[in-house]
Amino acid sequence: MASHLEIERKYEAGSGFALPDLRDMPGLSGVAEPKTHTLIARYYDTEDLRLAAYGITLRRRTGGDDAGWHLKLPVGKGARQEIHAPLGAGAETVPAELAELVAAYTRGRKLAPVAQLVTRRTERALLGADGMVVAELADDSVTAQRLGRRANGSGWRTWREIEVELVDGSPGVVKAVGKRLCGSGARKSRVAAKLDVVLADEVSHVERPDATRTAGEVMTAYLARQAELLLAYDPLVRLADHDDDSVHKMRVAVRRIRSILRTHRGLLDRKRVTPLDTELRWLSDALGEVRDLEVLRARYKQQLTDPLDTPQEPGWLAEMALNEQAARDRLRKTLLTPRYFTLLDVLDAFIANPWVIERAHRKAGQEIPQVVARSWRKMARAHDEAERLPAGPDRNVALHKTRKAAKRARYTAEAATPVLGKAAGKLARGAARVQGLLGAYHDGVVAKQHITEIAARPDISQYEAFLLGELADVQRCEGTRVLDDLPAVWKTANRRKVLRAL
């Protein structure tokens, strides 16, 4: 499979619309001769159009220069991650690798054709000052028909659409061209994809809760955003074969959800929430197996490359790479299990109808500051307890507890932003500094333990034992430096004036 980021803008135009002259635009030196193609695309989705609800399109297209299977995943306003797979030998079945990438959305439901589009496309390459193609302008005459059980004999629909897609230039070129098109009579498209025109009002687009009047609404709005991110990172985790931050970001989304469920437990029906928390921990652990190996391996590689002279990669480090790949394979299998799909269903159900008690219906300005202050006090108590302990394993455990408490205080403050505004931001940033510093210290503690285990293996050579010893010294030095910074970081983060004002 091949993948690239697609940045484009779409415009509606009538049949009599004439393309304006673009040759005099800043950043462009000319427009290439037009090329015309006939594109036939069949779009796939579940019967209840779950992909379309999330702005995802999956199609099999013939004709043009990029015939094949195309999966487009939204990654921001006006941008989509596009993944390609070959057409195959005339098969109409969705390739397994693409079906797996949207499994978190389909959750076992069958993918089938839902629409067919025939597009008469006239392409024009927009050239930069050096003659390179900076963008493509596509003038499309589209004819489309609904397919599937819900087609109900619907006829063909026709319309005209103009797309401007970035190729190898500045996004400002796409914006400027679009402005010129609108000045000539075109209109910004009201839909993100051609398929939306065909499906019209059938799609139940997923809308994030955003009400913030009550404490329960503030909590739910934040959880909904994290659940949205969890789903968005899922395909990227399935695609990744190295550390691209997708596993980390998906795991952070899960951790944020768990943290809020805990810090806001006074608003929740705990009997119903506890099983959900258990399943979220299971998912976090599955992601953590990969992430922990990513962090350790990256740490060792940096430390071996920087302060140490290593002519070759030690065998145990290469073995870690294999272990990480095996963990990724296990994670992909986990993300295809009914248990994972059930977890996503339960999370959706919770956000749609939160399991809250009467207290959650109190005004947000009355309840949320108390939740934030409570989480901050827990962090402060954990910090004070760690400070009273001498260096050693017990203090390391206490510092790790402080780190986890800081993480919860941070996420709780983030969730409170609609209520507390800038004050929440200050608290979140302070807690993040404590979390980050103690996270670095904890990584060093884990690394030292891991190094000790490797050094005890009978197959370790004298050269590798020497490297491990040097690495252990690096961890000790790093740990000392980090703890030396803790008092200053804590003093800056512990915003008592802000807390007293809540």
Give kind and range of the element (H or E) at residue 469: helix 462-493
Percent of the chain with pLDDT over 90: 72
Give kind and range of the element (H or E) at residue 85: strand 79-85
pLDDT of residue 92: 76
Q: Categorize the per-residue pLDDT at 497 as very low, low, confident or very high, splitting at 50, 70 and 90.
A: low
Phi then psi dihedrals of residue 416, to 5 deg? -85, 0
Residue 172 has pLDDT above 60, yes or no: yes
Q: What average pLDDT does the structure give for the chain?
A: 91
User: Mean pLDDT over residues 246-268, rounded?
Assistant: 97
Q: Categorize the per-residue pLDDT at 402 as very low, low, confident or very high, splitting at 50, 70 and 90.
A: very high
Q: Categorize the per-residue pLDDT at 190 as very low, low, confident or very high, splitting at 50, 70 and 90.
A: confident
Structure-model confidence comparison of residues 500 and 439, the more confident one: 439
pLDDT of residue 260: 97
pLDDT of residue 467: 86
With 0-12 CB in 10 A as exposed, 13-18 as middle and 19+ as buried, what is 109? middle
pLDDT of residue 311: 62
User: Mean pLDDT over residues 25-45, rounded?
Assistant: 92
Structure-model confidence comparison of residues 342 and 305, the more confident one: 342
pLDDT of residue 27: 82
User: Mean pLDDT over residues 370-382, rounded?
Assistant: 94
Give kind and range of the element (H or E) at residue 86: none
pLDDT of residue 308: 54
pLDDT of residue 149: 74
pTM of the model: 0.89
User: Mean pLDDT over residues 150-164, rounded?
Assistant: 83
pLDDT of residue 498: 62
| Contact (Cβ atoms closer than 8 angstroms) between residue 11 and residue 182 | yes
The CA-atom distances, in angstroms, between 265 and each of 258, 277, 339 are 10, 11, 24
Nearest-angstrom CA–CA distance, 386 and 346: 38
- Tracing tokens 């690495």 back to the chain, one arrives at 471
pLDDT, tens digit (0-9, with 9 covering 90-100), for 108-137: 999 999 999 999 999 999 998 888 999 999
| Contact (Cβ atoms closer than 8 angstroms) between residue 122 and residue 101 | no
Q: Categorize the per-residue pLDDT at 501 as very low, low, confident or very high, splitting at 50, 70 and 90.
A: low
Q: Categorize the per-residue pLDDT at 389 as very low, low, confident or very high, splitting at 50, 70 and 90.
A: very high
Question: Does residue 24 sit in helix, strand or coil?
Answer: coil
Residue 223 has pLDDT above 90, yes or no: yes
CATH architecture, domain 215-500: Alpha solenoid (1.40)
The CA-atom distances, in angstroms, between 391 and each of 386, 387, 398, 403 are 9, 9, 11, 16
Compute the 3-state secondary structure of the chain and give helix, strand, coil in percent, each to the nearest 5: 55, 20, 25
pLDDT, tens digit (0-9, with 9 covering 90-100), for 430-449: 999 999 999 999 999 999 99
Q: Which fold has domain 2-202?
A: Hypothetical Protein Pfu-838710-001 (2.40.320)
Amino acid at 309: D
pLDDT of residue 202: 87
Q: Categorize the per-residue pLDDT at 310 as very low, low, confident or very high, splitting at 50, 70 and 90.
A: low
Nearest-angstrom CA–CA distance, 186 and 192: 16
User: Mean pLDDT over residues 177-183, rounded?
Assistant: 94
CA 87 from chain center: how many Å? 28
Q: Where are the domains of the chain?
A: 2-202, 215-500
